[in-house]
Chains A and B, each alone.
Chain A
Amino acid sequence: MKRKIRLQRGEPNNLRLDEFEIKVETGMVVLDAIHLIQATEAPDLAIRWNCKAGKCGSCSAEVNGEPKLTCMTRLSDYPEDQTLTVQPMKTFPLIKDLVTDVSWNYEVNRQITPYQHTEGTGDPIMFQAEVDRVQEFRKCIECFLCQDVCHVLRSHDMKDEFAGPRFMIRTAGLEMHPLDQGERLEHLRDDHGIGLCNITKCCTYACPEHIGITDNAIIPMKERVVDEYYDPLKWLWNMVTGKSN
């Protein structure tokens, strides 16, 4: 069986879509098709990839406008007569063809207060339930599909004010860690703009690791920010009981 695939080609200010017809094999994924095109018709085609197993997060792109890992997206997921269009992630600056510059993400990552271990005080034992809770966020493969689909970054380009879902889960993983003593809520509210997230859950739907980004990370972090900054009863309660989190 043959099917048509369109790939975005070129560099910024010189973009085009090239259409190719390929012979489809059983079980073929979009990245296979791109490799086939690269090997037979477009040797100068640029695509970033590595593991081809959905674990390295390198081959992120947009297939028919939806952010996907190309190595985990089967051609058979789409109607046989439909032409597939593969484009680079829209949120990040384009380098060439399907490759974008995602280095902004690493800069944001460096702004997050790293793990600060409880030295000497407190109980060092972690129970499985506590491990599971933060371990979910460690499944992130940094494909940045959540960043790509987030409309705050994608449509409004508010990279100076909003860190994006990837770094909400990194912060949540550290904040919920039982042995961590770091303080990140002020930074999360003021610099990483958690209030800009309007919980449309696109990041959760796009995540190939099925991390509960919105329900398990962003909303719990929003609630902790509410505790700290917006809830007078909580302040009163903490004052009366002398408790903190």
Chain B
Amino acid sequence: MPPIDADATKERACTIPDDKGLLPTARTDLWWIQPLAVFMGLGTAVVYMSWAAFQGTNYYYDVEGASYLSPLYSPELFGETEHAWFGVKPTFWPEEILGFAVPWSPAFLILWAPAGFRVTCYYYRGSYYKAFWADPPACAVGEPRNSYWGENSMPLILQNLHRYMLYFAIIFIFILSYDAWLSMWFNGRPFEGDFGIGVGTIVLSLNAILLGGYTFGCHSLRHLIGGYADRIVRKPKVQQKAFDCVSCLNKQHMKWAWFSLFWVCFTDFYVRLCASGIIDDWRII
């Protein structure tokens, strides 16, 4: 064993990576790219959907017998189109509050449900805690604040209600699937009009599929459908299969979350372009 060389030890000495600063870390890789990408992606989606929700127009395309409804406006509980369940703008909607005019859009009545589902989603929680609140900014990167309450106290303890948002989200999947079905019929209701497929049909159908993949891979659903049980094998076969399917989708929950988020924005964008006359929908069949 070589002897310890005191002089050599002095020569080797260099500064320890700084443990102070706003986001202290010894990481040398590009750790900030992922939270930045999430920040940009989620931020863009939120800004776009908020803008689209406030428009209140051009969310329905019915030229040449088509029937494309933007998913940001579906179900249309009250509205001007033939999709509206309960007629036009409700009388209970205030015209003004404290002297300020209150905007109206059919999207205001429904967007809370999918938004609530995504906000309380286990995947998104982890992502936006990092990207928006730097809690932490990335793994093994220090935080800009000392206090931390986690999801133990208000308001974040409400994240535990994710399963209730799931119940609403599942209803939305059926409604959006029905919208996709309606988009396959031109010049009339299903089985009355002409069956056809336009680009909008594909866009709306993909939207329902991607949102379905995201919703049915939910961690809460995985628990409710079989994860709660220690003896899943003793449950009915159909329940076991359902648990396996949800677990399978759950493995790629992040991808489903991002693809479905992008596509729901794109679907609204496509319907909006068609409805505002900027482009025409291409009828394939």
A: which residues have CB within 8 A of B? 6, 8, 15-20, 39-44, 62, 64-67, 82, 85, 87, 90, 123, 127, 129-130, 133, 149, 151-152, 154-156, 158, 162, 175-178, 180, 193, 195-202, 205-206, 214-215, 219-220, 222-227, 230-231, 233, 245
Contact = CB atoms under 8 A, between A and B. Distances in A.
B266 to A, nearest CB: 27
B28 A152 contact: no
Contacts of A197: 150-151
A214 B254 CA distance: 13
Interface of B: 1-5, 8-9, 12-17, 25-29, 122, 125-126, 129-130, 135-136, 139-140, 142-143, 146, 148-152, 156-157, 160-161, 163-164, 219-220, 222-224, 227-234, 250-251, 253
B26 A195 contact: no
B150 A15 contact: no
B228 A227 contact: yes
B27 A64 contact: yes
Given A198-B150, A202-B139, A176 B129 contact: no
Nearest to B244: A129
A83 to B, nearest CB: 9
Contact of B126 (A18, A67, A175, A201): A201
A18 B230 contact: no
Given A43-B4, A65-B25, A18 B12 contact: yes
A130 B219 contact: no
Nearest to A175: B230
A237 to B, nearest CB: 10
Contacts of B15: 17
Contacts of B148: 152, 155-156, 158, 196
A210 to B, nearest CB: 12
List the 4 shortest-distance A-B pairs measured between CB atoms, nearest first.
Answer: A65-B26, A196-B150, A65-B27, A202-B139
A176 B122 contact: no
B136 A151 contact: yes
Given A129-B233, A178-B231, A245-B229, A215 B250 contact: yes
B143 A19 contact: no
Contact of B140 (A65, A198, A219, A227): A65
Contacts of B234: 123
B236 to A, nearest CB: 14
8 contacts: A15-B16, A18-B13, A151-B136, A198-B150, A220-B219, A220-B222, A220-B223, A233-B164
B26 to A, nearest CB: 3
B128 to A, nearest CB: 10
A18 B12 CA distance: 5
B31 to A, nearest CB: 8
Nearest to B229: A245
A195 B227 contact: no
Contacts of B233: 127, 129-130
B129 A130 contact: no
Residue among A41, A219, A226 with the highest chain B CB neighbour number at 10 A: A219
B230 A130 contact: yes
